[in-house]
């Protein structure tokens, strides 16, 4: 049974913000998400959970929260993505002046909603999008996410996204607060119904219309754990990476080259020692019989090591823009780049074939070329 009660401060029947949470098999995360949302203070709001065909306890969990409205979207229209269909259903019954689209795997800090609304208004923004703090637990989460988000920050610099004079537009679908009037003016998610990259597509439509976007990293407001195992991580980035970057093949090659050169320099003494051992000569030891020549070779090899260390420091510093802790940056620099390159190429191949799997749905014949044209608005770095 649907429950239609606004959650928030009493005194007004109309909420300022309608929070729309699309959820498909989110029993592992929805409880914490709704706890954090329903406990927000300082603004009148409503919470709408759109149960997108879940087969687990998602609907049961949502209905256990008093004041949360739970709805089911209509059948998935041909050519639409499941998420777009879900958020359109939520937006259709929303009453707020502002709409907050947020994912079921997010956790919101106390008072974050009121602060976000104030931030949007003070900055004259029609859309405020936060890039949440990314929680990484497993090895591949810790290694890959810093690389992905560093490259995203390079391609879609928040400063340029927030600059009305720049054509660069982006948003993070995990947190999009948008003025209802602006949302309707650009056609909402109906206008981008087939896009698997609906957050960036919505931001681009909004910016093309002359409206202002504010985009920033917001660990102070929201956090998320996107993927809980390697299979989900691989599936999720396969869906997105080829759409996010204008030249995924070239970026994969650059990433592998950067990583490979650093490791080759760093390991050069070891490789030389192995080579010498195979020929029966340990030339890299400075105290062998031919000390002068060996010392020169030893010094040269260790200069390579120093170059390798310098390169390692540089690629680690590159990852700082991803806003992860130092240990995650080190893991990303050491092991994340090859996996990032693999995921880029896997994503490009999947989209080129016209078949992408996400949330147990296969999306075929998507407008890959249209999305690539949208991505080309990003600066070339």
For CA atoms 34, 61, 178, 321, the dihedral sign is positive
Is the same domain home to 36 and 112?
A: yes
In a domain, 105, yes or no: yes
In a domain, 371, yes or no: yes
Residues 6+ apart with CB under 8 A from 113: 17, 19, 37, 40, 42, 43, 45, 100
Spatial separation of the C-alpha atoms in residues 222 and 214, rounded to whole Å: 16
Show the tokens assigned to 321: 């823009």
Strand partners, 49: 21, 70
- Asked whether 64 and 49 are in contact (CB, 8 A), the reply is no
Is the same domain home to 176 and 297?
A: no
Is the same domain home to 199 and 321?
A: no
Strands 213-217 and 127-131: parallel
Spatial separation of the C-alpha atoms in residues 211 and 35, rounded to whole Å: 33
Is the same domain home to 101 and 223?
A: yes
What is the end-to-end Cα distance of the chain in Å, rounded?
A: 52
Domain span at 302 = 248-375
Beta strands in the chain (DSSP E): 17-23, 45-51, 68-71, 98-102, 106-108, 127-131, 133-134, 175-179, 213-217, 222-224, 355-358, 361-364
CA 337 remoteness from chain centre = 16
Is the same domain home to 215 and 314?
A: no
In a domain, 239, yes or no: no
Nearest-Å Rg of the Cα atoms of the chain is 24
In a domain, 232, yes or no: no
Is the same domain home to 202 and 344?
A: no
Is the same domain home to 64 and 204?
A: yes
Is the same domain home to 223 and 307?
A: no
For CA atoms 370, 374, 377, 379, the dihedral sign is negative
Is the same domain home to 182 and 295?
A: no
Spatial separation of the C-alpha atoms in residues 130 and 133, rounded to whole Å: 9
Local confidence pLDDT in tens for the 381 residues of the chain: 343 344 544 445 789 999 999 999 999 999 999 999 999 999 999 999 999 999 999 999 999 999 999 999 999 999 999 999 999 999 999 999 999 999 999 999 999 999 999 999 999 999 999 999 999 999 999 999 999 999 999 999 999 999 999 999 999 999 999 999 999 999 999 999 999 999 999 999 999 999 999 999 999 999 999 998 999 999 999 999 999 999 999 999 999 998 888 777 766 655 554 444 544 444 444 444 444 445 445 455 566 666 666 667 778 888 999 999 999 998 999 899 999 999 999 999 999 988 888 888 888 744 444 444 444 344 333
Look-up of token digits 């869906």: 239
For CA atoms 93, 26, 323, 155, the dihedral sign is negative
In a domain, 1, yes or no: no
- Asked whether 117 and 41 are in contact (CB, 8 A), the reply is no
In a domain, 202, yes or no: yes
Question: pLDDT (tens digit, 9 = 90+) per residue, 189-236?
Answer: 999 999 999 999 999 999 999 999 999 999 999 999 999 899 999 999
Last residue of one domain, picked from the residues 227, 262, 288: 227
Is the same domain home to 203 and 259?
A: no
Is the same domain home to 253 and 219?
A: no
In a domain, 278, yes or no: yes
pLDDT at 3: 37
pLDDT at 285: 47
Last residue of one domain, picked from the residues 227, 258, 286: 227
């Amino acid at each position: 049974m649907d429950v239609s009660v606004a959650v928030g401060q009493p005194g007004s029947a109309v909420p300022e913000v309608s929070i729309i949470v699309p959820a498909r098999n989110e029993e592992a995360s929805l409880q914490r998400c709704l706890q954090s949302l329903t406990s927000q203070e300082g603004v009148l709001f409503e919470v709408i959970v759109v149960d997108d065909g879940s087969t687990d306890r998602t609907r049961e969990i949502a209905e256990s929260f008093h004041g949360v409205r739970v709805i089911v979207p209509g059948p998935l229209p041909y050519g639409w993505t499941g998420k777009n269909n879900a958020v359109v259903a939520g937006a259709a019954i929303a009453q707020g002046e502002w709409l907050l689209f947020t994912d079921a795997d997010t956790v919101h800090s106390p008072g974050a909603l009121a602060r976000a609304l104030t931030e949007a208004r003070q900055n004259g923004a029609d859309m405020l999008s936060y890039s949440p703090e990314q929680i990484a637990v497993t090895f591949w989460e810790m290694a890959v996410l810093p690389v992905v988000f560093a490259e995203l920050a390079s391609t879609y610099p928040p400063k340029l996204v927030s600059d009305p004079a720049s054509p660069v537009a982006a948003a993070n679908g995990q947190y999009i607060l948008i003025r209802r009037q602006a949302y309707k003016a650009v056609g909402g998610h109906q206008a981008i119904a087939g896009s698997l990259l609906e957050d960036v597509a919505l931001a681009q439509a909004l910016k093309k219309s002359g409206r202002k976007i504010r985009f920033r990293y917001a660990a102070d407001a929201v956090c998320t754990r996107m993927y809980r195992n390697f299979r989900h991580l691989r599936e999720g980035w396969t869906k997105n990476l080829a759409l996010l970057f204008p030249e995924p093949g070239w970026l994969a090659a650059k990433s592998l080259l950067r990583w490979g050169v650093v490791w080759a320099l760093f390991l050069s003494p070891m490789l030389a020692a192995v080579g010498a051992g195979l020929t029966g000569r340990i030339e890299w030891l400075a105290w062998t019989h031919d000390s002068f020549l060996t010392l020169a070779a030893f010094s040269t090899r260790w200069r390579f090591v120093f170059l390798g260390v310098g390169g390692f420091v540089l690629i680690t510093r590159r990852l700082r823009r991803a806003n992860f802790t130092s240990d995650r940056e080190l893991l990303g620099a050491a092991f994340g780049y090859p996996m990032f390159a693999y995921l880029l190429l896997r994503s490009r191949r999947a989209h080129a074939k016209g078949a992408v799997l996400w949330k147990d749905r296969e999306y075929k014949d998507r407008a890959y070329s249209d999305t690539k044209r949208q991505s080309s608005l990003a600066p070339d770095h």
